[in-house]
């Protein structure tokens, strides 16, 4: 099993809430490893969420980024 397959399997086992937390941390990530995990979490979220849920998720991320700026 490749590293990508292992990561994909781990992400598939996470709850949506856990994926959201990882996705939010992506915006605060400082290391390449954290960024990679966050990118894959974001992709998994895109697969699981409805369009409305994902739009709401992006609004939350934008708000957090605005607050951090």
3-state secondary structure the chain: CCHHHHHHHHHHCCCHHHHHHHHHHHCCCCCHHHHHHHHHHHHHHHHHCCHHHHHHHHHHHHHHHHHHC
pLDDT digits (tens, 9 = 90+) for 31-62: 677 777 778 888 888 788 887 887 787 788 78
Domain ranges of the chain: 15-68
pLDDT digits (tens, 9 = 90+) for 11-21: 788 888 888 88
Confidence (pLDDT) at 29 = 63
The reported pTM is 0.38
Confidence (pLDDT) at 53 = 81
């Amino acid at each position: 099993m490749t590293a990508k397959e292992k990561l994909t399997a781990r992400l598939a086992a996470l709850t949506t809430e856990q994926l959201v937390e990882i996705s939010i941390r992506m915006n605060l990530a400082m290391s390449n490893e954290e960024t990679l995990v966050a990118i894959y979490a974001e992709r998994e979220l895109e697969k699981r969420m409805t369009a409305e849920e994902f739009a709401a998720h992006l609004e939350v991320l934008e708000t957090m980024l605005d607050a951090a700026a």
